[in-house]
Amino acid sequence: MSFARIIDRPTIELPRLFDVKLHAIENIGENVEKLQLKDTVALLSGNTTYKVAGKKVKEVLEEAGKEVQILKIKEATTEVAKEAEKFYEEINADFAVAVGGGKVIDVTKFSSHEYNIPFVSVPTAASHDGIASARASLYGVDVKGSFPAKAPILVVGDISVLAKAPRRFTISGCADIISNKTAILDWELSRRITGEHMSSYASTLAEISAISMIEAREEIAKDPIKGAYHVFKGLITSSMAMCIDGSSRPASGAEHLISHSLDQLVEHPALHGEQVGMMSIFTMYLHGGNWQEIKETLEIIGAPTHVSQIGVDPEMLVNAILTAQSIRPERYTILATGVTRRAVIKALEKTGLIDKGSVDEKVGQ
């Protein structure tokens, strides 16, 4: 490790408490007192997620003597995040609580970071690994970006709530974690080719979370309660890896770039985890690794493994792959090695992600 890395090492910000069990929301008042959080609370939620869990969170916090003000979130944009900051100022918020999915949590973690107040993460679905990370995915002006944000001071994983979410969300979260296996390979490739620093601690945590999903895949497939518990723990571990490195690198490689590319090309994209999980089959094939294990695991848990299952035309998928690296050219991945259209099509056919002959190799050359 160079002295420059030691000097410039980002500060590691981690959550202080995790409460992961059945009916964990009932303990939120006790936990915020334990963390010495003050009295005025900005509770951010969506219309549906407020009914699912937000109302209960409000009741428990009020029973603990907190004054709770509610802001409904519909979109994860920088504009909405600025509106949240204004809301904090209007009510003189001491801390924020995000009750919902990725949109609500991303808006809260970014806006609370900008306004400089703590925030509590109460996810209502185990669908992505941003529940406890210090990065926020928001739409800016015609583009989606990843922004520095605040890690939650408290993460409440109420398994009774998470298990009631549509099964598709838990499967998506599991697939998101599994994609860490190829993200790490891209990171290692960049270390060898560009000299990028690679954190052994962060990469190990990210890989452990992926392995745990593969080992628990049968239980995740069959038992909603145990499945939600396994996936949520995996999401926390993956989030911690990103916090330790100070970036999304441990859990985001070429498979994520392809997913972001699809988001831009497809009118109604699939869930984030569905896309990155499926694309990790493809990127693992490019790396020469055990793509069959990833595909088999995704099939067992019920995640998409064919382009038709995410509603994308095979030609569009090829185009998404060929343009993906340009989304973040500074993040070196296997796609930066000069993968050709023909190679992409052959890899997609070989892994069964598209049907043989469904795309013309010569189009666009």
Chain length of the chain: 365
CATH architecture of the domain with range 9-165:
3-Layer(aba) Sandwich (3.40)
Question: What is the DSSP code string of 254-286?
Answer: HHHHHHHHHHHH-SS---HHHHHHHHHHHHHHH
Q: Tell me: pLDDT of 19 over 90.
A: yes
Question: What is the DSSP code string of 279-332?
Answer: HHHHHHHHHTS-HHHHHHHHHHHT---SGGGGT--HHHHHHHHHHHGGGSTTS-
Task: Assess contact for 287 and 182: CB atoms under 8 A.
Answer: yes
- Distance in angstroms (rounded) separating the CA atoms of residues 315 and 222: 34
Determine phi and psi for 144, rounding to 5 degrees: -100, 135
Q: Tell me: pLDDT of 221 over 90.
A: yes
Taking only the tens place, the pLDDT of each residue in 247-291 is: 899 999 999 999 999 999 999 999 999 999 999 999 999 999 999
Q: What is the pLDDT of residue 202?
A: 96
- Distance in angstroms (rounded) separating the CA atoms of residues 167 and 269: 18
Q: What is the pLDDT of residue 18?
A: 95
Domain boundaries, the chain: 9-165, 179-350
Q: What pTM did the predictor assign?
A: 0.90
For the segment 97-112, the average pLDDT, to the nearest whole number, is: 94
Q: Tell me: pLDDT of 310 over 70.
A: yes
**Structure tokens of 65?**
């003597």
For the segment 104-123, the average pLDDT, to the nearest whole number, is: 95
Domain pair 9-165 / 179-350, same fold? no
- Distance in angstroms (rounded) separating the CA atoms of residues 35 and 333: 40
Determine phi and psi for 45, rounding to 5 degrees: -160, 170
Q: CB atoms < 10 A from the CB of 301, how many?
A: 25
Confidence band for 365, pLDDT divided at 50, 70 and 90: very low
Task: Assess contact for 118 and 155: CB atoms under 8 A.
Answer: no
Residue where the block lists tokens 């910000």: 13
Handedness of CA 262, 171, 296, 247 (dihedral sign): positive
The yes/no answer on whether domain 179-350 falls in CATH 3.40.50.970 is: no
Instruction: Using DSSP, state whether 14 is helix, strand or coil.
Output: coil
Q: Tell me: pLDDT of 10 over 70.
A: no
- Distance in angstroms (rounded) separating the CA atoms of residues 242 and 252: 9
Q: Tell me: pLDDT of 173 over 90.
A: yes
Q: Rounded to whole angstroms, what are the CA distances from 311 to 206, 267, 317? A: 29, 10, 10
What percentage of the chain exceeds 70 in pLDDT? 95
Q: Rounded to whole angstroms, what are the CA distances from 53 to 41, 57, 166, 258? A: 16, 6, 15, 33
Q: What is the pLDDT of residue 143?
A: 53
Q: What's the angle, vertex CA 153, arms to CA 32 and CA 276, rounded to 5?
A: 130
Indicate the average pLDDT of the chain.
Answer: 93
Taking only the tens place, the pLDDT of each residue in 311-354 is: 999 999 999 999 999 999 999 999 999 999 999 999 999 999 99
Q: What is the pLDDT of residue 317?
A: 98
- Distance in angstroms (rounded) separating the CA atoms of residues 73 and 252: 26
**Structure tokens of 333?**
């991945």
For the segment 39-64, the average pLDDT, to the nearest whole number, is: 97
Taking only the tens place, the pLDDT of each residue in 135-169 is: 888 876 445 677 878 889 999 999 999 999 999 99
State the Cα torsion 313-319-320-321 to the nearest 10°. 120
Q: What is the pLDDT of residue 12?
A: 78
